[in-house]
Amino acid sequence: MHEVALAEGILETVLKEAACQGRGRIVEVRVRVGTMTHVAPESLRFAFEVLARDTRAAGARLAVEAVAPRVRCRICGRESAAQAHRLVCAACGDDRVELIAGADLQVESFDMEVEE
């Protein structure tokens, strides 16, 4: 279950950045997850919830946006959507493509309730 390790990384990143922004509780974290990572969003949310207990992110909502695979063709240069089980250029049909989206996880942003 690699979702636990990913949730740890997300939490560490957000807590570190939140410490730079002052005091307050983190209420929502937004992440983009490539569908080719095979991350189960519900498992990621659960792991994040458990790990965030007793931190300033306790109770924070983890919003997960799925990112579909996209490729850039090394032959014709075009970018196109791809299917995870068939990475080919939609324009020319060649399989010599570079995966440019859909295989990563990125923390997009987070919201805080700032204490005064």
Which pLDDT tens digit goes with each residue over 73-111? 999 999 999 987 889 999 999 999 999 999 999 999 999
Domain that holds residue 86: 3-114
DSSP classification of residue 37: G
Q: For the chain, how many structural domains are there in total?
A: 1
Q: How far apart are CA 44 and CA 74, in angstroms?
A: 34
* CATH (domain of 91): 3.30.2320.80
CA distance linking residue 69 with residue 16, whole number of Å? 30
For the chain, what is the mean pLDDT?
94
Q: pTM here?
A: 0.86
Alpha-helical runs (H) found in 1-116: 3-20, 41-52
* Residue 1, pLDDT above cutoff 80: no
Cα 110 from Cα 87, distance rounded (Å) = 32
More confident residue, 17 or 85: 17
